[in-house]
Amino acid sequence: MDTFWSDIQQLQKTTLGNPEVCVAILDGPVDLGHPCLQGAKLTVLESATHNHGSAAQVGTHVASTMLGQPGTSVVGIAPRTRAISIPIF
């Protein structure tokens, strides 16, 4: 795991992501109020499901791993990249 994060840190010295790239996050719903996602370029589609329990926690975790903003408790892999969240469960 240490090697993974050191590789991510090396990558982030080169780029924090490209806002011209849009990543799809297919997971549970995302809590847009989470502090690490404030300022993230994240569009959320409405979900046909209404499970906002543990699925929302997982969706928020996945989104923050990708888009967590610098200066917060979670800095994502590519925080400057755009994303669209599509809740599928």
pLDDT in tens, 62-77: 999 999 999 999 999 9
pLDDT on residue 7: 86
CB atoms within 10 A of CB 72: 17
Mean pLDDT value of segment 26-42 = 95
pLDDT on residue 50: 66
Task: Look up residue 46 and give its amino acid.
Answer: E
pLDDT on residue 89: 82
Nearest of 61, 11, 9 to residue 36 by alpha carbon: 61
Nearest of 40, 16, 44 to residue 29 by alpha carbon: 44
Least confident piece of the model among 8-12, 27-31, 40-44, 85-89:
8-12
* CA dihedral sign of residues 24, 27, 33, 38: negative
